Structure 1
Amino acid sequence: MAEPGNLAWPVLSDELRVPDDVLANAYASINDVERSWIKKNIAQLYALHPPAGTDRASTRTRWNGGFATTSTRLARPWACLVYPEFPKSRSASGCLSKSLAGSGPAGVAAALVPVMTAGITDILTILHPSALRSAHLLTTLELCGLENVYAVTGEAMPKELNALVAREPAGLILDMGGLASHDPLSTEAFHRAMVWRPRLSGRLRIWCAAPDQWDWSTLEWNHPRARIEAWGPCRDAAPDHFLQVDGNWDAFRRLPGALGVDADMLHAPDLSGVWGLPGDGLILTPGQEGCWYWPDLDPSFVCFQNGMALADSR
Structure 2
Amino acid sequence: MFQFPEWLQEYQVEDETFGAAYEATLPPQRAWLKKTIAQVYGVNSPDAPLKTWDVNTWRGGFETEVTSTPLEWTVLLLDAKSVSPVRILAALVPALAAGVKNVLAVFGGEGEISQAVLAGFELAGQEDVVKLPQNKIEELLEHLMSSGSDGAIVDLRTDLMLLPYGPGVRYWRAPEISSISVCKEEDSPDMDVLAFVHPDVDFVEVDEDSLAEVESDAAVVPAELVGDALLNFSIVLTHGQEGCWLWNGFNCSFFKRECVALAVAE
C-alpha change, 1:182 and 1:158, in structure 2 (3 Å) is farther
Q: Give the paired residue count.
A: 266
Give the number of the structure whose residues are more often strand, by fraction.
2
Equivalences for 1:260-299 in 2 at 5 Å?
A: 260-266=220-226, 271=227, 275=228, 277-278=230-231, 281-299=234-252
Instruction: Decide whether the 8 Å contact of 1:23 with 1:142 is kept in 2.
Output: yes
Helix, strand or coil at the partner of 1:40? helix
Q: CA deviation at 1:256?
A: 4.1
C-alpha change, 1:203 and 1:155, in structure 2 (3 Å) is farther
Correspondence for 1:215 among 174, 183, 190: 190
Q: Which amino acid in structure 1 is aligned with residue 192 of structure 2?
A: S
C-alpha separation in 2, matches of 1:313 and 1:169: 32
Structure 1 counterpart of 2:100: 120
Structure 2 counterpart of 1:108: 88
Instruction: Decide whether the 8 Å contact of 1:158 with 1:182 is kept in 2.
Output: no
The TM-score, its normalising length taken from structure 2, stands at 0.86
C-alpha separation in 2, matches of 1:176 and 1:68: 40
Helix, strand or coil at the partner of 2:203? strand
C-alpha separation in 2, matches of 1:12 and 1:225: 33
C-alpha change, 1:206 and 1:167, in structure 2 (3 Å) is same
C-alpha separation in 1, matches of 2:265 and 2:189: 62
Instruction: Decide whether the 8 Å contact of 2:72 with 2:100 is kept in 1.
Output: yes
Deviations 1:171-191 (A, max 9, x none): 01111136x432214x3xx23
Q: Which amino acid in structure 1 is aligned with residue 206 of structure 2?
A: W
C-alpha change, 1:292 and 1:192, in structure 2 (3 Å) is same
C-alpha change, 1:265 and 1:159, in structure 2 (3 Å) is same
C-alpha change, 1:146 and 1:9, in structure 2 (3 Å) is same
Structure 1 counterpart of 2:203: 228
Greater Cα radius of gyration, structure 1 or 2: 1
Q: CA deviation at 1:11?
A: 4.7
C-alpha separation in 1, matches of 2:139 and 2:222: 46
Uncovered stretches (5+) of structure 1, i.e. residues with no partner: 1-5, 88-102, 234-246
Deviations 1:82-119 (A, max 9, x none): 113327xxxxxxxxxxxxxxx61001111111211111
Are 1:182 and 2:168 an aligned pair?
no
Q: CA deviation at 1:292?
A: 0.4
Q: CA deviation at 1:311?
A: 5.0
Structure 1 counterpart of 2:69: 74
Structure 2 counterpart of 1:202: 178
C-alpha separation in 2, matches of 1:280 and 1:55: 33
Equivalences for 1:38-117 in 2 at 5 Å?
A: 38-60=33-55, 65=60, 67-86=62-81, 104-117=84-97
Query: Matched residues, percent identical?
Result: 26
Structure 2 counterpart of 1:191: 167
Q: CA deviation at 1:159?
A: 2.2
Structure 2 counterpart of 1:240: none
C-alpha change, 1:223 and 1:78, in structure 2 (3 Å) is same
Q: Which amino acid in structure 1 is aligned with residue 221 of structure 2?
A: V
Deviations 1:16-58 (A, max 9, x none): 2111111111111222121122112212222222215322233
Q: CA deviation at 1:76?
A: 0.6
C-alpha separation in 2, matches of 1:221 and 1:131: 19
Instruction: Decide whether the 8 Å contact of 1:11 with 1:163 is kept in 2.
Output: no
Structure 2 counterpart of 1:20: 15
Q: CA RMSD in A?
A: 2.7
The TM-score, its normalising length taken from structure 1, stands at 0.74
C-alpha change, 1:61 and 1:38, in structure 2 (3 Å) is closer
Structure 1 counterpart of 2:130: 150
Uncovered stretches (5+) of structure 2, i.e. residues with no partner: none
